[in-house]
Amino acid sequence: MLHKIKKTLDFDLKKQERKIFLIFILGLIFYAVLVLFGDAKKIINISFSFKWNLIIVLLLLSFLNYIVRFVRWHYFLRQISIKIPLVNSFRIFLAGLSMTVTPGKMGEVVKAYLIKKEAGNKFAQMVPLLITERLTDGIGMLLLALGGIYFFRQSLIFFLFSFGLVVLFFLFIYNKKYTLKLIRKLEDRFGHLKPLDFFLTFFEHSEKLLKLKHLTVGIILSVTAWSLEGISLFLLINSFGHFWQWKSLFYSLFIFSFSSIAGFLVLVPGGIGVAEGSITSLLTLFFQIGIAQGIFITLIFRFVTLWFGVFLGLVNLFLSFSRLRFAERKT
């Protein structure tokens, strides 16, 4: 089993760099089309009235989001007995942000690769952590979306579907015997299914992380972290001076979480296209603003959340691999 998961988690830096570059170019093309669709002239005029010093506040909120998520990451590492210096742990966590634009954030296995190189731990120990991160992210997003369902009843089906996936996941992981039997039947019928390697390894090494106490801590930290990005959207909307009311905060949290879940479920790299479309549409629906203003807000928001994280991640990914190469030369 272990040789399969090693192959699945093998990390080719140059290949990932090419993927990120391609996704970045596709993102630029999409954003250019979006601006043209929303009337480029109007969007440029809106940019002149925007308070650009707000960007600093938004970037600080995003960085605070990364710190809270790092606390969760380091907490989970401690639960599975992986002990590395705090500074190294933070650098590895940030390096994982470079892979945020991969479908379903699956590229974040780079963190498992770097942990293995730094601490000598097996890949198999890291798989439960990576999956538990995504699980607590999903639950956190769903909890944030709850407030907006009252105002946007059409999203109830989407919410129930997402909630159903979480419940189904818990049913699978807490009925280990039957789940393993189902996986083996699928492999007998269809042959080796690469995505199932993650879940098989998850079952083999997930006991500690699936304790209620650890999941609860993870979910609380997830809600806290993602609330900060929802607040960023709230501040961005209110920078135009029309929506200072508590209802607007619920709207903002819902728009952000709904769009993020949609982008994740569709497995589009970084949710590009799906997230932007959802955010722009919901902004115009809830706040009665024009398409051009909605697109401008969306582009700024995605820059300070998604692309800021990717940039930080790439810097730390470069530092991490430079450190590894230096260590290899010394030996």
Helix then strand then coil, in percent of the chain rounded to 5, is 85, 0, 15
The Cα 239–Cα 235 span in angstroms is 6
pLDDT-based confidence at residue 174 (cuts at 50, 70, 90) = low
Helix (H) or strand (E) holding 196: helix 196-205
CB 132 within 8 A of CB 215: yes
| CB-count burial class (<10 Å; 0-12, 13-18, 19+) for 277 | middle
* pLDDT at residue 25 in the model: 84
* Each residue's pLDDT tens digit, 202-248: 666 677 788 889 999 999 999 999 999 999 999 999 888 766 677 88
Provide the whole-model pTM.
0.84
CB 294 within 8 A of CB 38: yes
